[in-house]
Amino acid sequence: MKGLDYRWLEALDAVIAHGGFDKGAEALFITQSAVSQRIKQLEKWLAQPALVRESPPQPTAIGKKLLGLHRRVQLLEKELLPELATEGLSHAVPVSIATNADSLATWLLPALTPLMKAQALEISLLVDDESRSLNRLRSGEAVVAISAEPTPLHGCSAQFLGAMDYLCVCTPEFKARYFPEGLNADTVSRAPAVVFDRFDDMHTQFVYERFRLPAAGWRSHMVRSSEAFVKMAKLGVAYCLIPRLMIEDELQSGALIDLCPGDGITRHLYWHHFTTESGILAEMTQACLNHARQVLRSNTD
């Protein structure tokens, strides 16, 4: 049986990346019929569809895995080619990183800055909750993932980054209005909170463990931005769980107060990457590990 032809994967990637067969063909400088033929050959080889022919086309489950394979091969080529070329190449290596919003808002960009300034990296950030970010690595959308899951995927390594501590905070005025007697099941059920999205279970865990309130037993705003969490808390319209790293100045000035001293939430974060990485990818991993371990709490207690 004929082996996998990477021109088929190139065509699949182009169709998905550019949202259609015509635009995918333009990107590859070939005809639309040639792209269609390559994908048909791929699907014949697979004996199953590689994409769903809708607008725009979407990869099937096996299509996602093949896209991940193709992108990892491209990444390895871009790392290796400067070593093989006589005069070297100056192109940045594109890297897709699946990250939680709070890492992006705190330590991740400072860790990557030296490599981006050196034009060694061209990053694409896929923002997801730390409980789901590993799915981006599993599907092939990302080559690195920051996750709360300590167990690596097959062929990958997971290295401990550090512990991110979350405090339950609000303004003094908000506390006086909603929590004059402190937090209890009744006051928590009436005070507006902030959650990241419908999958965010951090606040749900917080109120259930302390007050046995169900997920539908309290009010909440839904805001997909770590920075907006801080803004809403400072505006006095909600209370919320925010990484200590983001609000140290506000805590020091008294603009925000810790509602539950010594009783916050902790998330342990891990850097998931392929064990075969080398060159600039290995440099990126080391830079991120070094920086995260400087700013995050280092123990796993």
Could you give the angle at the alpha carbon of 76 between the alpha carbons of 74 and 80, nearest 5°? 115
Nearest to 273 by CA among 95, 61, 126: 95
| CA dihedral of residues 173, 176, 178, 183 (deg, nearest 10) | 120
Of 72, 91, 110, the residue that ends a domain is 91
End-to-end C-alpha distance for the chain, whole angstroms: 53
For the stretch 120-138, pLDDT in tens is 888 999 999 999 999 888 8
Evaluate if residue 75 carries a pLDDT over 50: yes
Nearest C-alpha neighbor of 41 from the set 65, 6, 16, 73: 6
Q: Give tens-digit pLDDT for 150-183.
A: 999 888 899 999 999 999 999 999 999 999 999 9
Tens of pLDDT, residue by residue over 12-62, are: 989 998 999 999 988 888 888 889 999 999 998 888 999 999 889 999 988
Domain boundary among 61, 91, 121: 91
Residues 181 and 42 in one domain: no
Asked if residue 138 and residue 231 are part of one domain, the reply reads: yes
SS3 237: coil
- Cα–Cα distance between 234 and 250 in angstroms, integer? 8
Q: What pLDDT is stored for residue 300 in this prediction?
A: 59
Alpha helix ranges (H) inside the chain:
6-18, 21-28, 32-46, 61-84, 101-105, 108-117, 134-139, 172-178, 185-190, 202-211, 226-235, 248-253, 279-295
Based on the fold, state whether residues 110 and 82 are members of the same structural domain: no
Rounded Cα–Cα distance for residues 282 and 15 (Å): 30
Q: At 86, is the pLDDT very low, low, confident or very high (cuts 50, 70, 90)?
A: very low
Q: Which amino acid is at 97?
A: I
Q: What is the pLDDT of residues 172-212, one digit of tens each?
A: 999 999 999 999 999 999 999 999 988 889 999 999 999 99
Cβ neighbours around 151 below 10 Å, total: 10
Domain at 231, CATH number = 3.40.190.290
Question: Amino acid letter at 236?
Answer: G
Residue 54's alpha-carbon distances to 51, 58, 60, 144, 289, in angstroms, are 9, 7, 12, 29, 41
243 with 157, same domain: the answer is yes
pLDDT at 71: 81
Express as a percent the part of the chain with pLDDT over 70.
94
Same domain membership, residue 260 and residue 170: yes
Who contacts 291 (Cβ-Cβ below 8 Å, separation ≥6)?
107, 110, 111
Q: Provide the whole-model pTM.
A: 0.77
The rounded distance, in Å, linking the Cα atoms of 187 and 29 is 63
Residues 145 and 203 in one domain: yes
Any residues with CB less than 8 A from the CB of 176 and at least 6 apart, and which?
A: none
Q: In this structure, what CATH number is given to the domain that contains residue 59? A: 1.10.10.10
Looking at the structure, tell me whether residues 3 and 22 fall in a common domain: yes
Whether residue 294 sits in one domain with residue 284: yes
Residues 74 and 181 in one domain: no
The count of domains in the chain is 2
Query: What's the pLDDT score for residue 154?
Result: 85
Among the listed residues 54, 66, 73, the one whose alpha carbon sits nearest the alpha carbon of residue 11: 66
Q: Look up the domain containing 40 and give its range.
A: 1-91
Q: Is 47 left (phi over 0), alpha (psi -120 to 50) or beta?
A: left
Q: Kindly report the backbone phi and psi dihedral angles of residue 5, in degrees, each rounded to the nearest multiple of 5, phi listed first.
A: -95, 120
